[in-house]
């Protein structure tokens, strides 16, 4: 596999830009991050269930105090200093999944194999370096389907860093819709789309996946929490999709999803759990 435009485009990343993280855990969500955005060391804000994580690559205690002082609903719960590997729970390094080589843009290996396709993945501070069992299982099923038949349109629900959307585009899918309700995840995905030159193949937007089940697609991939999954599979359009890959499910959750699928005009093609913890389902819906 020779270096190409995508790999050359990030040769300037000589080291991990998120090597050291300074994280401020807040109760409440800031209405404005204008002060933080003035700092080049501000990485982003993760918002969830009324709480916020402000990420910097340099300590900013005084700045965070100013942000909190401006709004009555904000308070500092804790602050952390850690490496990006500690935050992600994984080393950010290159790995191979089927025919895909997935690498951080600051550590690109040279692999002289024409049967492999390279993807750059900059995870930022969003969970999902690609090494989780569910991600690898979804990529495996996606490659199986793309080899089995022509898959042109894909919806990736809960895209996170965008790894599954990137995988779909690299495997030859022509139109991919990547959805995530978290804005920082969408911004991370948009960056990964850009550094892989997939702007003509992938559209990433901030949205709830269950609201987009009516979008025509030959494949829907959902690597998400069970609380979202159980709503997703009840959408009327669920059974209209030719193929679905459902992942992110513990055994008891997968049992419930399988029981629900038995009542629908779909076929559970396979259920796998390679690590004994996380389940992934390959489901065939309405034939094309």
Domains of the chain: 20-88 (3.30.70), 125-284 (3.40.50.150)
CA distance 58 to 42: 8
Q: Work out the percent of the chain whose per-residue pLDDT is above 90.
A: 77
Whether the per-residue pLDDT at 7 is higher than 70: the answer is: no
Would you state the pLDDT for residue 13? 53
Distance from first CA to last CA of the chain, Å, rounded? 34
In this structure, of 26-35, 85-94, 97-106, the range with the lowest mean pLDDT score is 85-94
> Lowest-pLDDT range, 4-13, 98-107, 278-287?
4-13
- The whole-angstrom separation of Cα 269 and Cα 243 is 10
Mean pLDDT over 163-174 rounds to: 97
Q: Among 264, 226, 12, 213, which Cα is nearest to 120's?
A: 12
pLDDT tens digits along 108-126: 887 778 889 999 999 988 8
Range scoring the smallest mean pLDDT among 18-22, 127-131, 274-278:
127-131
Tell me how crowded residue 15 is: count the other CB atoms within 10 A of its CB. 8
Task: Give the sheet arrangement for strand 42-48, strand by strand.
Answer: 42-48, 51-56, 20-27, 75-83
What does the mean pLDDT of the chain come to?
Answer: 90
Q: 221 is written with which tokens?
A: 């991939």
| pTM, full prediction | 0.88
Confidence of residue 128 (pLDDT cuts 50, 70, 90): low
113 Cβ contact partners less than 8 Å away, ≥ 6 residues apart: 1
């Amino acid at each position: 596999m020779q270096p190409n435009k995508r790999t050359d485009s990030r040769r300037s990343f000589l080291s991990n830009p998120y090597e050291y993280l300074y994280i401020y855990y807040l109760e409440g969500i800031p209405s404005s991050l204008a002060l933080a955005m003035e700092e080049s060391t501000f990485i982003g804000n993760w918002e969830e269930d009324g709480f916020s994580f402000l990420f910097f690559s340099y300590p900013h205690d005084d700045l965070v105090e100013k942000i909190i002082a401006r709004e009555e609903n904000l308070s500092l719960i804790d602050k952390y200093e850690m490496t990006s590997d500690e935050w992600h729970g994984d080393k950010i390094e290159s790995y191979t999944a089927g025919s895909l080589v997935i690498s951080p843009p600051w550590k690109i290996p040279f692999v002289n194999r024409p049967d492999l396709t390279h993807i750059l993945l900059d995870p930022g501070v969003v969970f999902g370096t690609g090494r989780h069992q569910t991600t690898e299982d979804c990529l495996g099923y996606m490659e199986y389907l793309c080899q089995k038949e022509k898959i042109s349109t894909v919806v990736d629900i809960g895209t996170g860093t965008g790894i599954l959307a990137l995988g779909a585009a690299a495997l030859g899918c022509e139109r991919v819709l990547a959805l995530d309700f978290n804005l920082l995840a969408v911004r991370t995905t948009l960056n990964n789309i850009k550094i892989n030159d997939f702007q003509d193949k992938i559209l990433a937007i901030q949205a709830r996946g269950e609201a987009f089940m009516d979008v025509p697609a030959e494949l829907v991939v959902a690597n998400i929490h069970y609380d979202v999954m159980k709503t997703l599979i009840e959408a009327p359009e669920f059974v209209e999709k030719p193929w679905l890959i459902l992942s992110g499910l513990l055994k008891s959750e997968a049992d419930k999803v399988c029981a629900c699928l038995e009542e629908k005009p779909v076929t559970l093609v396979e259920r796998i759990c390679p690590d004994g913890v996380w389940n992934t389902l390959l489901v065939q819906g309405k034939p094309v």
